[in-house]
A and B are shown apart, each in its own frame.
Chain A
Amino acid sequence: MKTFSISETISELRFLLAENDISRASRKMLDVTKEFDLPGEVELLAHEVRIAHNNLQNESQVVDPAIIEKCRFFVSYIEQHKEYYEDFISKIDHGTLPVYSGIGISKRFWSGNSPFYLQPSDINLYTGQITGVVGENGNGKTTLLRIIAGELLSDTGDISYPILGLKAGQWYKIKNQIAFIPQRIDKWHGTLLDNLSFYATMHGIKDAENNKQVTYILHRLGLDRFKHLKWSEISSGYRLRFELAKMLMWRPKLLVLDEPLANLDINAQQLFLQDLKFIIKSIRFPLSIILSSQALHEVESVADNIIFIKQGQTLYSGSQKEFGQERQYNTFEIAGSFSRESLTQVMQLIPGYKIEDSGTVFLISVPVDFTPEEFLQTLLINKIRLNYFRDISFSTRKLFKKDF
């Protein structure tokens, strides 16, 4: 579980300022303003820095020294009050109840002309954790997310939302605290700013607080420039970010994202995942995030837990770190300018190996005592020229293997 740490934040900010990385430093500063009630002038500094950054033509443009100075003042203020804020964090206790608990959840339905069965599974989602749902297309990821978000009725099992303290059936109140972003986002009408303000207001965030929250989220997600535009005037990447902003505005307890990375370019994906990492760290407004995606490695880079679904069956549901701890093989993904024959000749030097050609890459499995370094060394010695290598021993990527 990732939580906000004031010491880590200060040292990170110092490092970023030393590197002149105003982009990340300004976001970090805004994160601090979200977690603590800072004096107005200090909070304003964070916004000023962020606006200054947003106004830069490009990342390489020289930053005004006055802005750097403001950042330094901000950091020094936090450092001076470090003990107070650490004490504030230590007093916060969100308990150990899961946000969502689903026991024996299953769903059977017809998809076109073929039957589909999402087999029973147990899933618990906790605050401060990101859960990634991975699997091939049409294997039940969206079905599972819709059940969790209360959009789809499960055939069997018990669903509860313990942390919300609501009884089963109180769906309006439950959904009042669950944010579900489907793959296809509904169009917004009116200006983006009006939408954000309205969603905050209707969830009880009013007047000055509303203004503050909207300003914060716009600056934090870098959306300030677009706030007066309309839905049709922004790209799909920004639409997703605005949708995320809208949902975060009212501080839901559970954020359900169905294929959020699907329409994003690689930079937008990275930015979005960074946002998720920041969101999940919040101690003041803790929430749980569950997302499905095909971008396996990107999801694994941010997820605490992984659920792998294959043909409706949950093959793995648990901690991402624990995955592969009891493996019998180390598995590597490689690609390069070599033929399968030459690779097979080399692999014969390693007893108990397996090769799977997945078209663009080879998946090599070797006994667990054969380390990645030894594997790479073997390939290099035998003149196998690699241009891609990934150790997927701890990744659910290997669950995609045909023989799994």
Chain B
Amino acid sequence: MLSFFAPRFLKRLDQRLLLSSPILWLSKLHYVIYYTVILWLLTGLIALVIPINLADMVNNGIYYTFFTIISIVLLCVWIYRNAIFNIESDYGNRKVTDEYKVFFINFLCVFLLFSYSYPFTYIYNARVANTLSEEELVSEINTLNVAEPFFVKSYYDYREVQIKKDSIIADDQTDYQSYTYKYDINDYHSWNKYTPYRLTTDSNKVQGILSSYQQQLSFNRLRKNDSQALQAIQNYISILRKHDVKFDYEASYVLSRYKSLCREPIDFNNESYKTYDYTVDFGRVETILRNVCDAKFDPVFVLRWEFNLVVFYFVFYITLAFMLFKTVRWQQFLVTVVSFILLPILVFIFSMLLGFGSGRGSETIFMTTLLLIYLVAVGFSLSFMVHPKKFNAFKSICMQIVYVCTPVFFLYLIFYLDENTDIFWRGKYYYNDYAIQEAVSSNSFTSPSTSFQMGQLLYEEQYKYYRALFENLIWASMAFGIFFHISFFMVFMKEQFLKMKALPKNK
């Protein structure tokens, strides 16, 4: 099917690889690259032509999901095409270093198969970001923010005032009855309404955004001059209409309504006030500005390291699982997959039962049991390596468990130590020493004057050091686990798996 659509040069290349490089031919890397380029262009084109709805970015997610489904389908096709031929199953010639080649090629193939959404997301995001220039964005935000108080939509945006009820004599007990609360429309306080959150917290991102104080000053100038106020309101309405918000009121109406509401504080129970409320989707503009701002100043999620770390582990484990599938007998592989699903569930139930009433945390039991299972699997694997005589399905499964778990074993060990010991000072700050918490949060801590405070500062520094060490060890253990596995363990285990697979069976 895939080769049917392939150009002649690709078919020739396929034939050439078949005769000269079985590993490359098996991987179908050439087909994967070819179809990846096509799909990149296709998804990029889709990102260029689909209409942008700035108020609703769900489209992005739908397309991402759609492309991910395509990736999964193509991955299945690729796995099938790759799995039907197997060098190891038929005892072909192979070198130890072939495993590196196989790993990197398969990793690249799986990654490319999962990369179809990258161009789409990047291009679509760029389009969103370019819908407004930085100047336009700043101008619109400022215009909307400054004129916003004229559009009385919610009394919560205005200051609440306490008004004494004349008919009731106030005393301590009846105080709540002797006062009423109203909203003074003259006193607006919800400034920055249209400023996206990240611009209010990080003003360095873009110049020209008015601060709350500046907005207030501008507004105060406007309200003194009707013509300027009308112009500001008109600008506000223009921006609304530009972003497809239906607003049927005239600027003069908005101003006169504002002025009338300013005469006296409003009781929020006043029904007549409510009838004058605008039935307009102002939130749409807020959303649009926020989305444009996100697109402009946030890295695209597919380019964020957190996302790519997840992608890396996903691709890494798909590659690993597939390589394992080809190296071992499928029956034992299936049992291993089921074990990985069932074992944690069983261990969880076991730890809940054992932890109940024993005084020990079920979390500790859960983590310890999993660690023990891994160590037992290591033990059985070693027993095979020392005396490989006949094929043993159980030991094969143990070896597979070790193979899959080792890349994250070191990471797990760090978490285990942190969770169950105080080696990284996990419990010392949060649970044990309330005084330290107090001291840390108090102002006196910044300039210690007593030996007690010095001790507290030292303690705090030690805490910070061990937590930082923990954080660093997480990264180090992740990197080491991957490096150890790829550079040595993967090849070593491959030899053991092949040794096991080639051994005579007992029946």
Contact = CB atoms under 8 A, between A and B. Distances in A.
A86 interface: no
Given A152-B507, A198-B18, A198-B22, A203 B93 contact: yes
Interface string A167-190: 001011011100000000000011
Nearest to B390: A153
A169 B388 contact: yes
A178 to B, nearest CB: 8
Contact of A109 (B94, B391, B502, B507): B507
A201 interface: yes
A189 B85 CA distance: 8
A378 B21 CA distance: 69
B505 A201 contact: no
Interface in A131-156: 146-147, 150-154
A393 interface: no
Interface stretch (A70-78, A206-214, A255-263, A281-289): A206-214
A153 B506 contact: yes
A171 B20 contact: no
A189 B84 contact: yes
Nearest to B499: A172
Interface string B388-427: 1111000000000000000000000000000000000000
A203 B391 CA distance: 24
B92 A206 contact: no
Interface in B482-504: 498-499, 501-504
Nearest to A198: B85
B506 A198 contact: no
A207 B506 contact: no
A306 B278 CA distance: 102
A202 interface: yes
Contacts of A154: 504
Nearest to A195: B85
A18 B21 CA distance: 45
B91 A172 contact: yes
Contacts of B91: 172, 175-176
A63 B416 CA distance: 81
Nearest to A175: B91
Contact of B18 (A152, A176, A197): A197
Contacts of A175: 91, 502
A206 B25 CA distance: 13
A204 B388 CA distance: 27
Interface residues of A, number: 29
Contacts of B85: 189-190, 195, 198
B375 interface: no
Interface residues of B, number: 27
A194 interface: yes
A199 interface: yes
Contacts of B505: 151-153
Contact of A201 (B20, B84, B498, B501): B20
Interface string B27-38: 000000000000
B93 A210 contact: no
Contact of B92 (A147, A150, A169, A202): A202
Contacts of B90: 199, 202
Given A153-B390, A169-B388, A210 B504 contact: no
A189 B20 CA distance: 20
B87 interface: yes
B23 to A, nearest CB: 9
A189 B83 CA distance: 10
B16 to A, nearest CB: 9
A194 B503 contact: no
B19 interface: yes
A202 B504 CA distance: 22
B93 A194 contact: no
Contacts of A147: 504
Interface in B47-96: 84-85, 87, 90-94
Nearest to B495: A172
A194 B388 contact: no
Contacts of B504: 146-147, 150-154, 171
Interface centre among B93, B389, B390, B499 (most CB of A within 10 A): B93
Interface string A206-240: 11001100000000000000000000000000000
A210 B17 CA distance: 12
A152 B471 CA distance: 52
B24 to A, nearest CB: 11
A199 B25 CA distance: 12
Contacts of B94: 202
A201 B502 contact: no
B22 A202 contact: yes
Interface string B6-23: 000000000000111110
Interface centre among B18, B498, B506 (most CB of A within 10 A): B18
Contacts of A151: 504-505
B29 to A, nearest CB: 16
A146 B505 CA distance: 10
A312 to B, nearest CB: 15
Interface string A259-296: 00000000000000000000000000000000000000
Interface string A85-129: 000000000000000000000000100000000000000000000
A169 B499 CA distance: 8
Given A151-B505, A175-B91, A190 B19 contact: no
B25 A207 contact: no
Contact of B20 (A172, A195, A207): A207
B93 A207 contact: no
A201 B499 contact: no
Contacts of B390: 153
20 contacts: A150-B502, A152-B505, A153-B389, A153-B503, A153-B506, A154-B504, A171-B503, A172-B498, A172-B502, A176-B93, A197-B19, A198-B85, A201-B19, A201-B20, A202-B22, A202-B87, A202-B92, A202-B93, A202-B94, A204-B93
Interface of A: 109, 146-147, 150-154, 169, 171-172, 174-176, 189-190, 194-195, 197-199, 201-204, 206-207, 210-211
* Pairs of residues from A and B, 5 with the lowest C-beta to C-beta distance, nearest first: A202-B92, A189-B84, A171-B502, A153-B504, A172-B502
Given A172-B501, A199-B92, A202-B93, 14 more contacts: A147-B504, A150-B502, A152-B504, A153-B391, A153-B504, A153-B506, A171-B503, A172-B502, A176-B92, A190-B84, A190-B85, A198-B85, A210-B19, A211-B19
Interface of B: 18-22, 25, 84-85, 87, 90-94, 388-391, 498-499, 501-507
